[in-house]
Amino acid sequence: MLSKFNGTVQFDGIRTTTSTDEEGNEIHVVIGRTGELRIMDVENDRLLVTNNIPYGSILKVKNNQKIAKGDVICTWDPFNAVIVAELDGAVDFENVIEGVTFREEADEQTGYKEKVVIETKDKTKIPSILVEGKELKTYNLPVGAHIAVSKGDKVKSGQVLVKIPRVMGRARDITGGLPR
């Protein structure tokens, strides 16, 4: 997301956790779903724009930072919604049962196998990832979620646990909507 104005950044309800990227740089990953970012013209005390910051995005600005038009505010994966760990800890699974709540699928390009959550007939079995650190955090998994961690893995706060592919607009046959 790029800034459309020159101004000063103000956060409203943005919850983040600190993590590191592949190069070892410190990053701030958004873990709240309702946070907003405002760009203000402080000299004239005017609100220029308000933006919702997507869950799982990486913030590139700090609160009260001056930014210019075209500066990067945040980045995120446009193809996948994600679930990120909110704390450091060890991964455990609950009701993640092969053939019942998930199946293994191989990626055609990479050959890498991953667990994909499937719809189960047993509605009492809700697949979840547990991260046990200073406290226990539970993340319920929606149908279609691709699990990116394994049981026993050590995860850091801000690390992606699950990727949920965003549905792209599908071309539909024109005859599907016509009356008989």
Distance CA 74, CA 60 (A): 5
pLDDT of residue 172: 53
The mean per-residue pLDDT over the stretch 18-36 comes to 88
Amino acid (1-letter code) at residue 81: A
Considering only CA atoms, which of 57, 62, 63 is closest in space to residue 80? 57
Q: Two tokens at 141?
A: 């998994």
C-alpha angle with apex 38: 37 to 41, nearest 5 degrees? Answer: 155
Distance CA 72, CA 37 (A): 13
Residue 167: pLDDT above 80?
no
Taking all residues of the chain, what is their mean pLDDT, rounded to a whole number? 88
The mean per-residue pLDDT over the stretch 17-26 comes to 86
pLDDT of residue 24: 84
Chain segment 44-58, per-residue pLDDT in tens = 999 999 999 999 999
pLDDT of residue 110: 77
* Dihedral over alpha carbons 76, 78, 81, 86 (to 10 degrees): -10
Chain segment 65-117, per-residue pLDDT in tens = 999 999 999 999 888 999 999 999 999 999 988 888 888 888 777 778 888 99
Q: Which residues of 67-99 are buried (b: 16+ CB within 10 A; e: fewer)?
A: beeebebbebeeebbbbbbbbbbebbbbbbeee
Q: What contacts 124, CB < 8 A, 6 or more positions away?
A: none
pLDDT of residue 122: 83
